[in-house]
Amino acid sequence: MGKKGRVFSGARPTGRQHLGNYLGAIKNYVALQDDYECIYCVVDLHALTTLTDTERLKQNTYDMVLDWLAAGMDPKRSIIFVQSHVPQVTELHIILSMVTPMGWLTRLPTFKEKVRQQPDNVNYGLLGYPVLMAADITLYKANVVPVGEDQAPHLEFTREIVRRFNRRFGPVLVEPQMKLTEFPRVMGTDGVNKMSKSLNNHIELAATPEEILERVMTMVTDPARQYRTDPGHPEICNVFALHKFFCSDPEAIPQIERDCREAKIGCVEHKKWFAKDLADYFAPFRARRAELATDPNYVWDILADGAERARVIAQQTITEVKQSVGLP
């Protein structure tokens, strides 16, 4: 293990990525590669706990990983793979389930929330989800897991399982440390909900400049600003919030803020500016994505190589786990 330690993070295969995915995960994934040995996993088995239609699972995996690679996640420095391609995770899942009290799982607020969301599909996998997550992390002996504050209880759950397992069978598993990361809450084009594909309030990273402009022009701004002459409130405007991340000239931001308050800039003018900066920001991404997509096997080759490297670590851990548990 080199650098500052080994990072593990997983993401469900959600297809083409949007600004929320970029600011909430991908940007951080790329940056972590400088200081950590990173393992990034497409958690397709986790996706099965909520999906009823799996038709697009393969395509969504391809599209998401293509975006990851185009955005700078580097398969030479990081291991990028698909969860189900390393079956040792399911072995570890079942072994860890033996040290997980049922009460821990049924009491979890996330489980209760899922039961509310999908009362007709309360499957066993949904209940065991946190155990599978613990298996994901511990199989690779990751000692650092980046999480937002809202996900901290999930990681604490993994740490509890590790402590319980190690107390009973010996110090085999690594207790991961939480790397609390501030993930901006990215709102959608409607300005009220979190950016999400299902709400169709998202802007894709791979969108063309024309598509970006079209989406940005529909964005809800300060609702109190009915006329161009009305003073605005940039602190409640999502165009302003997002422009801060993508502005080609960050020094222009304080000026926009003043101009908005004094009604010296109109929303249409500002949106066009933001759309142009957004399109320029992602121009290298679009070019790289188009280049990588010319070889339809590229993504699958990267994932096959990643799985091979992940399996080496996984096999070592599962062998140690089985020995410590006393399996013949």
Distance of CA 325 to the CA centre of its chain: 33
Q: Considering only residues 82-111, where is the footprint of ligand SF4 by CB under 6 A?
A: none
Among the listed residues 270, 289, 314, 317, the single contact to ligand SF4 using CB under 6 A: 270
Q: Shortest gap between Cβ of 286 and ligand SF4 (angstroms)?
A: 24
Quick one: which of 27, 35, 25, 17 has its CA closest to 246? 27
- Contact letters for ligand SF4, residues 232-251 (x by CB under 6 A): x-x--x-xx-----------
In the bound state with ligand SF4, the residue whose beta carbon lies nearer, of 6 and 270, is 270
Query: Which positions from 116 through 145 interact with ligand SF4, judged by CB under 6 A?
Result: none
| Segment contacting ligand SF4 by CB under 6 A, of 125-133, 177-185, 203-211, 265-273 | 265-273
Q: DSSP of 282-301, one letter per residue?
A: THHHHHHHHHHHTSTTHHHH
Applying CB under 6 A, does 15 fall inside the site for ligand SF4?
no
Burial of 309 (0-12, 13-18, 19+ CB in 10 A): middle
Count of residues engaged in binding ligand SF4, rule: CB under 6 A: 13
Q: How far is the CB of 24 from ligand SF4 (least distance, A)?
A: 22
E-strand ranges in 181-233 read none
**Nearest alpha-carbon partner for 98 in 72, 126, 131:** 131
235 or 308: CB nearest ligand SF4? 235
Q: Which is nearer to ligand SF4, 256 or 299 (CB)?
A: 256
Stretches 18-26, 35-43, 47-55, 264-272: which one binds ligand SF4 (CB under 6 A)?
264-272
Q: Which of 39, 265, 278, 310 binds ligand SF4 (CB under 6 A)?
A: 265
Q: Give the single-character DSSP code of 232.
A: P
- Residue among 241 and 292 whose Cβ is closer to ligand SF4: 241
What is the Cα–Cα distance from 97 to 102, expressed in whole angstroms? Answer: 9
Exactly one of 127, 132, 242, 260 binds ligand SF4 (CB under 6 A); that residue is 260
Considering only residues 170-229, where is the footprint of ligand SF4 by CB under 6 A? 221-222, 225
CB of 222 to ligand SF4, least distance (A): 4
Residue 112 CB-density burial (10 A; 0-12 exposed, 13-18 middle, 19+ buried): exposed
Pair 314, 89: CB distance under 8 Å: yes
Helical spans, DSSP H, in the chain: 19-21, 27-32, 44-48, 57-70, 88-97, 102-107, 109-117, 124-139, 152-169, 209-217, 238-246, 252-261, 267-281, 283-293, 298-325
Interface with ligand SF4 by CB under 6 A: which residues? 221-222, 225, 232, 234, 237, 239-240, 260, 265, 267, 270-271
